[in-house]
Amino acid sequence: MNNREFFDQSIFKNNPKDVFRDLGEQVFNQFSSKTFPTNIYNQSNQYILEAELPGVNKSEIELTYEHSTLTIKAQKHVSEQSGQVQLSERASGELVRRFDFDDIDKTQIKASYTDGILVVILPKETSDEDNTTKITID
């Protein structure tokens, strides 16, 4: 096969912009299909995390805080339709996000779930003692 035949049968036959667009869509869809949008607000005494989980039942959400990491796991089910799939963008399966927070009072974490929005309140630890350690230089 000569170079001309290779280029005629390869991805170069199409518009080069299409190659990058298609690749970008594949990468974006791969990562976006198993995640969910989240906002985190840092306030003086707490963090507030809001996560969009539309179509997920409250009973299918697992929320844990361990080793300074908040983990949100959710099971999302999409009803199956008969026939050949023309386009499939709705995520199904396990959705997982992890967020690192330092100095959280884990005994006071609260969460609520309304209208597809999970809200997690993560109070910051309050310390009355001075955490400064003076180090002597030898």
Q: What's the 3-state SS for 31-50?
A: HHCCCCCEEEEECCCEEEEE
Closest by CA to 109, choosing from 69, 75, 73, is 69
Residue 30's pLDDT band, with cuts at 50, 70 and 90, is very low
- Residue 65 contacts residue 84 (beta carbons within 8 Å): no
pTM above 0.75, yes or no: no
Give the number of other Cβ atoms within 10 Å of residue 86's Cβ: 5
CA gap 41, 66 in Å, rounded? 20
Residue 118's pLDDT band, with cuts at 50, 70 and 90, is very high
β-pair partners for 99: 70
Give the 3-state secondary structure of residue 117. strand
Which two structure tokens, joined as six digits, stand for 68?
């300074």
Right CATH for 36-79+92-126 from 2.40.10.220, 2.60.40.790, 3.30.590.20, 3.30.830.10: 2.60.40.790
pLDDT at 6 over 70: no
Instruction: Domain ranges for the chain, please list them.
Output: 36-79+92-126
CB hemisphere CA count around 102 (13 angstroms) = 0
Model confidence pLDDT, tens digit, residues 119-138: 999 999 987 666 666 777 76
Model confidence pLDDT, tens digit, residues 37-63: 999 999 999 999 999 999 899 999 999
Closest by CA to 120, choosing from 104, 135, 136, is 104
